[in-house]
Amino acid sequence: MSSDMLEAEITQERKLITEIPGPRSQEIHERRKKVVPPGVHTVFPVYIERAHDSIVVDVDGNQLIDVCGGIGVTTIGHTDEAVVEAAREQLGKVTHTLFTMNAYEPYVRVAELLAEHAPGQGDYKTLLMNSGAEAVENGVKIARKHTGRPGVAVLEHAYHGRTMLTSSMNHKGSPYALGYGPRAGDIYRAPNSHPLHDGLTGAEAAKRTINHLEKTAGAADLACLIVEPVQGEGGFVVPADGYLPALAAWCKENGIVFIADEVQAGMARTGKMFAIEHFGVEPDIILTAKGIAGGLPLSGITGRAEIMDKSLPGGLGGTFGGNPVSCAAAVAVFEQIEKLDLLAEGQRIGKTFGDGLRQLQSEFDCIAEVRGFGAMLAIEITKPGTLEPDAERVSAIIDYAGKNGVILLSAGLYGEAIRFLPSLKMTDELLLDVVSVLREALTATA
Ligand SMILES: *Cc1c(COP(=O)(O)O)cnc(C)c1O
């Protein structure tokens, strides 16, 4: 079957033919319970058979609108034609040699593309790994090697992964670190900028963060400060203007490596290639993963050459890091972003969908804030007239939407936000359909 035929079968519309989850999904879910541990929790137990652009088709034949995209991975849409073609072709040529044993060109091409797009002056070099958490781990390793210092500064509401180091870096100890200790040392967590809740200007919030780090860690012990320009898991928190530039300037003065964790917000998600560009900051290291290879596992650690060059030969890498098929897919992702002008599409989505969400905010007093950029938007749900989180209502809204064929996901330290990660190809028609389902859900849960 050609890819054209597969694609032709999936129309870009919501279509339900059974209840959700349907009987076949439920049957597989029962099998799964015997062989997959509950720690690998599935938020929405619908089993997906096929997908294209913004629509996923489950094993019962229901078509759902995917506003989660595997948490911001299928940024340029499911089964993008060029990505599928590039991966298929590479798969038939060579699947693995191990880049640190025998090399191949697609790895070099991805590194060139990341260097080209890195928002900073000078030369950038890239190490490729498999996952976001591995990108964070390696960012920390590289910063420590460069500075000769141990300390890692992170922010409140941060999320950086589920490996041993990164689970200690997350704000949420439960469920990510609870019971898996001892937790990693030399991690210092500072207050972030969360304008809705702290009411501080960027300058005030930066002062608070810096004071905290100077008192708890001491700048001279810090190897790096790692920030998500728009916090993902933390609830799509957008820092106040001036916050990130002030932190970057402080890092520069004190020889601390400024790392932008762009794992969720990067790769055209926010209407710019990297979210940090919204704030005019040039990070020392940029971490990418989720959206970089259209769904194939790949992550990048892209940093200033003088920082990246400190490691000894063999000090960096991993068996599967920068797999050729993933690299070929990533090259296609970069090409599609340019060819289809997906940065502009991100801005279109920010407008159409953002306007729709702001309209809902004017109708429902439980929506305390609409925030984010481009195709990375969230609403915060509170008890009406307060800033008290209402996680129960968030769950009820997501449940209602799921049963009606719209896949949504929560976020936030207290489960207070609903995050939207549509593909950059999602049509205005589908975006407005999502808004109308949300309106029904908000009404039904009032
Ligand atoms: C998802 C995420 C990670 C971890 O990525 P994995 O691929 O799940 O290991 C790290 N940082 C941020 C900001 C993320 O959103």
- Distance from Cα 113 to the centre of ligand 1, integer Å: 21
Residues 153 and 248 in one domain: yes
Q: Which two tokens stand for residue 319?
A: 């068996």
Q: Does ligand 1 have an atom closer than 6 angstroms to the CB of 160?
A: yes
Q: Does ligand 1 have an atom closer than 6 angstroms to the CB of 264?
A: yes
- Domain of 189? 84-339
Residues of the chain with pLDDT under 50: 1-2, 7
- Distance from Cα 123 to the centre of ligand 1, integer Å: 25
What lies within 8 Å, CB to CB, of 364 at 6+ separation is: 442, 446
Beta strand pairing status for 48-52 and 55-58? antiparallel
- Distance from Cα 159 to the centre of ligand 1, integer Å: 7
Q: How far apart are CA 271 and CA 351, in angstroms?
A: 11
Residues 243 and 323 in one domain: yes
Residues 168 and 249 in one domain: yes
Residues 290 and 418 in one domain: no
Distances (CA, A) of 113 to 85, 89, 93, 273, 332: 19, 20, 22, 11, 11
Q: What pLDDT sits at residue 1? A: 43
Is the sign of the CA dihedral 174, 178, 184, 186 positive or negative?
Answer: positive
Q: Does ligand 1 have an atom closer than 6 angstroms to the CB of 267?
A: no
- Distance from Cα 369 to the centre of ligand 1, integer Å: 24
What's the predicted TM-score (pTM) here?
0.97
Domain boundary pick from 315, 339, 363: 339
Residues 210 and 260 in one domain: yes
Residues 274 and 245 in one domain: yes
Residues 111 and 24 in one domain: no
Q: What is 324-347 written as a DSSP string?
A: HHHHHHHHHHHHHHHHTTHHHHHH
Residue whose Cα lies nearest atom 6 of ligand 1: it is: 132
Domain boundary pick from 339, 357, 372: 339
- Ligand 1 atom with minimal separation from the 161 CA: 4
Residues 302 and 261 in one domain: yes
Total domains, the chain: 2
C-alpha angle 126/129/132, rounded to 5°?
105
Buried b (16+ CB within 10 A) or exposed e, 95-114: eeeebeeeebebbeebbebb
Residues 102 and 70 in one domain: no
Residue whose Cα lies nearest atom 11 of ligand 1: it is: 160
- Ligand 1 atom with minimal separation from the 158 CA: 13
Task: Tell me the CATH number at 307.
Answer: 3.40.640.10
Q: Which two tokens stand for residue 140?
A: 């920390």
- Distance from Cα 264 to the centre of ligand 1, integer Å: 7
Q: Does ligand 1 have an atom closer than 6 angstroms to the CB of 135?
A: no
Q: What pLDDT sits at residue 9? A: 78
Task: Tell me the CATH number at 401.
Answer: 3.90.1150.10
Distances (CA, A) of 177 to 62, 139, 170, 226: 36, 20, 8, 19
Domain boundary pick from 286, 314, 339: 339
Residues 20 and 138 in one domain: no
Residues 234 and 126 in one domain: yes
Residues 200 and 253 in one domain: yes
